[in-house]
Structure 1
């Protein structure tokens, strides 16, 4: 009996592999730090780290020694994993020459950080939204910034990405991908990618697995914007929070749309810092932030935004505690599964579960490491 080919199978299977590469995830930052462009300088990363370290040294006395040492070591060595210079909501609308000047100044700062070896593993800028009606401003800022970085640094340092906010129309994504393609040709670059922000219910309507393929592989990530989203659906101000059920729904739509595509996901932010440097105020902020970070992690979002140096402490402490809580049991289950399979005995965990356990261990190893590598490093 001869095997009969299934008509059309090869084409469909190739499309499946392209759409759902199912590749092992590489390193992903646990957070993105947003800094308004007019406040960004070559000292920003050190200032955030120093401020966070000072608060941690003063107020982490209740932590177990191992956890305290982990957090202090991280803050001293790599306080910011992902940095975004903000030309959108955190920056506002400025006269054209003022924004041009801030883009040039930001590029000088990036070049200085790169030369000093202190540029975060991932970095970039957030441009203004096309939905605001002035795409030329976004393109001008991005192009001027990139040209200035190339001039001053001699290259585009590794880890660059650009954040594209308030995507109310699907067509804006294709238009922005075209902008990046033209910038590559003009500046002699390659591989420019961007992350979209999901900040409106309209955006959920066009999230789907096919979307990255329509953008030439340029879509690197999708970030949730809690405040714009909750305002857009009419939640009252006191309910505009990351752990609201409406936000859970939006995040789950993002997960189901991009599962298996390789598009990274990030949660949003808490727009708050401690009311003062007193222990009770700092602990209150850490507790509030830690609960939200824990909520994101439990829902499968391993990255979020940090908007104040104090949040670095609660971010890293919560991430470490999350991964350490189950690390040994996950490792034992993977080991037991491999031994039972090799011996031909009964295997309790499903293969899909074991793959998830192994992926969780890889993510934990990356998050728990204090080594400041380069993008893609474990």
Structure 2
């Protein structure tokens, strides 16, 4: 092939190359939490995560202990032995990975004076938690949506919260998360970008410092008026600021006309919405999060165990569909959140590690995987390590790669050749 032809080909596709690099950069190495806990903002105290961990451990103890709960949701004795103690340690050391202080549905309308005071007070308490080192790895707020009746109230709360936190802490934490709810149109995302730009300029923050996650709670964001997948356009309209897409179980289901009794993460309408979200987010570096179940483990023993089984099954179902994050609404949901995650990663650990070791040239196998599959194996193992299901030493022994090497290998644009051989 003449050099001139190849040069012409490069010139012809230069714009496409630039577009793909900009719009589909792939994973950036950010940790994705396994869940988001939502609480009414005024209920937050720095002690809340540890309190939720103690409450979770106490209710498990009341119902026979962690090993009994593992067996209740269907784990084998062998898997129970691997999971139970790890979940107990998780509930002591990091019971909440991501906490959202809610000024929207979970808070309601309490009048401007009360919400102003709560926005300021909760930001101050979060600053204290950050100083004391007891804040979750990820924490932030959900403010009221950009629909006309609540738009100004939501922006005011966002402003008060960020400004108080910035003044009290001296900077915004790396794990700060802003949840943008009830997004229906691409224009609302564009407006949110403008709000972020304006706040950064006023507060003297670097351009692009504020990111936000989009809560997908309306069918209009899944299928726009022109028949397109508006959620895909919304990601790119976010100008690199969109960090996650979160599925909103009950608002979305109600908008479809689903009867309250049948609203569920497993409803076909939910599966369709999440499949569209997943396709829209693929390659962009934007994380995808499942929603919640409102069937809480409360009441008598039979009701608690039934709710635990349901929660476990829904979390496990999501993991198998590559929804690696979901919502939790009560401390009693934490045990089954972590049991499901830890079982998911430990069940497939040996097979995934063996296949990756083969790819890296450190073991023999009848399976020959391609680079894309190797990245998927590395992502799976690295996620298991980050959440606490897998240990660094066992990963290195079994897969022939350290957690840091797994993180590198999991990125599509990384140079992985150095790990092979």
Tell which has more relative contact order, 1 or 2 (C-alpha 8 A, sep 6+).
1
| Residue of structure 1 equivalent to 2:377 | 357
Asked if 1:49 corresponds to 2:53, the answer is: yes
TM-score, with length taken from structure 2: 0.83
SS in 1 for 2:360: helix
- 5+ long unaligned stretches in structure 2: 71-79, 224-228, 392-403, 408-421
- What does the per-residue CA deviation read over 1:206-261, in whole Å, with 9 as the maximum and x for residues that have no partner? 44555434322111111000101110001111110001111111100001111000
- 5+ long unaligned stretches in structure 1: none
| Pairs within 5 Å for 1:309-320 | 309-320=331-342
| Pairs within 5 Å for 1:246-257 | 246-257=269-280
Q: Take 1:346 and 1:89, find their aligned partners in 2: how far apart are those partners? A: 53
Q: 1:131 to 1:50 in 2, by over 3 A?
A: same
| Pairs within 5 Å for 1:104-123 | 104-123=120-139
Q: Take 1:208 and 1:43, find their aligned partners in 2: how far apart are those partners? A: 37
**Cα drift, residue 275 of structure 1:** 2.7
SS in 2 for 1:243: coil
**Cα drift, residue 347 of structure 1:** 6.0
Which residue of 287, 300, 322 maps to 1:300? 322
8 Å contact kept, 1:223–1:267: yes
8 Å contact kept, 2:86–2:389: no
Q: How many residues align?
A: 371
**Cα drift, residue 189 of structure 1:** 2.3
Asked if 1:258 corresponds to 2:281, the answer is: yes
Q: Take 2:49 and 2:3, find their aligned partners in 1: how far apart are those partners? A: 65
| Residue of structure 2 equivalent to 1:78 | 94
SS in 1 for 2:213: strand
| Pairs within 5 Å for 1:165-314 | 165-190=181-206, 191-205=209-223, 206-207=229-230, 209=232, 211-276=234-299, 278-314=300-336
Q: Take 1:275 and 1:358, find their aligned partners in 2: how far apart are those partners? A: 38
SS in 2 for 1:260: coil
Q: Take 1:125 and 1:61, find their aligned partners in 2: how far apart are those partners? A: 35
8 Å contact kept, 2:297–2:333: no
Q: 1:288 to 1:346 in 2, by over 3 A?
A: closer
| Pairs within 5 Å for 1:30-45 | 30-45=34-49
SS in 2 for 1:197: strand
Asked if 1:337 corresponds to 2:359, the answer is: yes
Q: Take 2:262 and 2:41, find their aligned partners in 1: how far apart are those partners? A: 29
Deviates more, 1:247-256 or 1:150-159: 150-159
Which residue of 161, 164, 176 maps to 1:160? 176
RMSD: 2.3
8 Å contact kept, 1:209–1:259: no
| Residue of structure 1 equivalent to 2:18 | 14
**Cα drift, residue 370 of structure 1:** 8.8
8 Å contact kept, 2:116–2:157: yes
Q: Take 1:185 and 1:288, find their aligned partners in 2: how far apart are those partners? A: 47
Q: Take 2:129 and 2:28, find their aligned partners in 1: how far apart are those partners? A: 30
| Residue of structure 1 equivalent to 2:397 | none
Deviates more, 1:330-339 or 1:54-63: 54-63
| Pairs within 5 Å for 1:142-153 | 142-153=158-169
